[in-house]
Amino acid sequence: MSTNKPPNIFAAPPPSGVDLYFRRALSAAQAGRYAEAESLCRLVLQQQPQHFEALHLCGLVQHLSGRQAEALRALDRALLVQPRSAKALNNRGVVLHGLGRSAEALQAHDAALVQQPAYVDAMLNRGVALKALGRLDEAIAAYEQALALDPRMADGWSNLGVILQDQRRFEAALEAYARAIVLAPEYADAHWNEARCRLLLGDYALGWDKYEWRWRRASFARQHRDFTQPRWQGEDLAGRTILLHAEQGLGDSLQCLRYLPLLAARGGRVLLEVQAPLVSLLKDFPGVEAVFARGAALAAFDLHCPLLSLPHVFATRLDTIPPNVRPAAPDAQRVAAWGARLGPKRGTLRVGLVWSGNPAQQDNHLRSLALRDLLRITAPEIECISLQKELRSDEERALVADGTIRHFGEDLADFAETAALMTQVDLVISVCTSVAHLAGVMERPVWVLLQYAHDWRWLLEREDSPWYPTARLFRQNRQGDWAGLIDEQLMPALRQHIEGVSHA
């Protein structure tokens, strides 16, 4: 989904008499020269500390530079000068949303609409805040209200589609994306959102094709690699060297490893560039001549391809997903060390747990659950081992301290170490994180706990995954209802599993 509608820094300048510094600041901001714009705004404020437009513009360029806390302070100063400014109230909400304070963002957008009831941008941003708060019906109403006033907003239709998709109203979501694309045929976010919807529905033919639009999204600028060598499109590789490179998360990289031996089988010399935590795990991966950490010096190559473009190049369909290819077995010394450290099993079943993903990911609060909730599975027959690297709260640290769960996060230096520890558990239970992918690619038994509006790769309804043969999927029946998933699905499955192990 797109983020909040971008602040309007292209509004007409203030009334006549605005000094030359501010006009230059506005021009610099319009050209994307944010540091210059901020410096010029500060020159204005040195002479006129209550200059509303300079305070407002300073907040906007700080927001666009990713400095949300500073942006909020600047906008608050602007609102002290003009407390009823609808644009400043609305943009304050945008910044609050960027800080993860969605309830306060909603209040700011509502305040903007009190001042300017037909303010379309504030209506759209109100919808973004409501979605973040899980109030999807109200979010849809906010978008529909905005689109009734201005039905030619492609971003409004695209964002509405995302919310409809989250409600599993897939036909309506695809219609909304289509309307966005008709209005703006080159609007990459709409194509990207459609791609994820179609992949979720199992429409890989169009889904992978649309997925290539990601490279035209502004948010993918940091993932783009400006190589002089051409990108591989499926041509013959005999006698040529190809660099395959990671672009998104660790789990995405692991999911696409299965394609690497296929390139080697076509006669290519395969180099692999991945995130640093994966290098040790993949150094002996089948069909790969060398593995590099992203940012390290690379060997010479003739062609390149992003890892998540491989399904598109190979025209992958549900029935042609290549079989999983396991990395080399974990180092025997590491495995032995973990075995000695854990000691004899304390019960019938030793379970590795992961309850939270990367907090930087937009929907992490939806895909993660509290450790205390997951530990409701504890029983005398179950020994709980943390496979998570970091503890993120005092409550989690307390549960580790009292021995409820054994945690080794600071010793999990990379994924090779995590894979070695994983050999010592009978079952991995994880939310949708890279560790779930690691268990899948290592072909360890893994139960994946999925939020209601989950990622495209897990498809719909089914309990298995065509990507990972040892995975079993547990799905929320209602958004946010982890308790129902644990009580109604996970715990009965665990009891049945324990009984099967006991009678084996």
pLDDT tens digits, 229-242:
999 999 999 999 99
Quick one: which of 461, 465, 202, 212 has its CA closest to 318? 202
pLDDT tens digits, 184-241:
999 999 999 999 999 999 999 999 999 999 999 988 877 888 899 999 999 999 999 9
pLDDT tens digits, 48-88:
999 999 999 999 999 999 999 999 999 999 999 999 999 99
Give the pLDDT score at 14: 47
Give the pLDDT score at 15: 44
What residue type is assigned to position 22 of the chain? Answer: F
What CATH number does the domain located at 332-503 have? 3.40.50.2000
CA distance 158 to 1: 8
Q: Where are the domains of the chain?
A: 20-150, 241-320, 332-503
Residue 496, classified by CB atoms within 10 Å of its CB into exposed (0-12), middle (13-18) or buried (19+), is exposed
CA distance 136 to 128: 10
What residue type is assigned to position 100 of the chain? Answer: G
Whether 259 and 233 have beta carbons less than 8 Å apart is answered as no
Give the pLDDT score at 6: 56
CA distance 326 to 323: 10
- Count of other CB atoms within 10 angstroms of residue 321: 16
Whether 369 and 355 have beta carbons less than 8 Å apart is answered as yes
In this structure, of 8-17, 59-68, 344-353, the range with the lowest mean pLDDT score is: 8-17
CA 85 vs CA 4, 56, 82, 185, 438: distances in Å: 19, 10, 6, 34, 50
CA distance 348 to 18: 76
SS3 label, residue 121: helix
- Asked whether the predicted pLDDT for residue 29 surpasses 50, the reply is yes
Whether 251 and 436 have beta carbons less than 8 Å apart is answered as yes
Quick one: which of 36, 83, 17 has its CA closest to 56? 83
Q: Which residue's entry shows tokens 């303010």?
A: 119
CA distance 483 to 376: 9
Using pLDDT thresholds of 50, 70 and 90, give the confidence band for residue 18: low
Using pLDDT thresholds of 50, 70 and 90, give the confidence band for residue 2: very low
pLDDT tens digits, 459-480:
999 999 999 999 999 999 998 9
Domain 20-150 homologous superfamily, CATH: Tetratricopeptide repeat domain (1.25.40.10)
The predicted model gives 252-276 an average pLDDT of 95
CA 328 vs CA 3, 441, 466: distances in Å: 40, 11, 21
